Amino acid sequence: DAMVIQNPRYQVTQFGKPVTLSCSQTLNHNVMYWYQQKSSQAPKLLFHYYDKDFNNEADTPDNFQSRRPNTSFCFLDIRSPGLGDAAMYLCATSRSGQDNNQPQHFGDGTRLSIL
């Protein structure tokens, strides 16, 4: 089945130690997103890629960066994690189009804990 896969499902890191979360997709969608979600609140968009074009949200901290080496993979790098960065990180994909009715397809997320 075509899907969005996030690895690992659970990640523990130390305060200030860089960490990378990964996402892969077999849907061949050209748009990929990273969200931060805390305690079943609404997902908060960090950034998205439209093909190779990177789009950062204005309130995304500089501590968060992303890479998309090809259509299938996207990475979230947290350079110096703080306690406030403990959250569920969700990757999603969608098709682009002239209309706005394309849903997003989510992975199961990576739960990040900071020691």
In the complex, minimum distance from the CB of residue 80 to other proteins, in angstroms, rounded to a whole number: 26
16-42 per-residue burial string, b: 16 or more CB within 10 A, e: under 16: eeebebbbbbebebbbbbbbbeeeeee
- The residue (of 38 and 79) whose beta carbon lies closer to other proteins is 38
In the complex, minimum distance from the CB of residue 83 to other proteins, in angstroms, rounded to a whole number: 22
Which residues form the interface with other proteins (CB under 8 A)?
4, 6, 31, 40-43, 45, 48, 50, 55, 90, 92, 94, 96, 99-109
- The residue (of 59 and 99) whose beta carbon lies closer to other proteins is 99
Is 94 exposed, middle or buried (CB count within 10 Å of its CB: 0-12, 13-18, 19+)?
A: middle
How many CB atoms are located within 10 Å of the residue 82 CB?
12
In the complex, minimum distance from the CB of residue 74 to other proteins, in angstroms, rounded to a whole number: 14
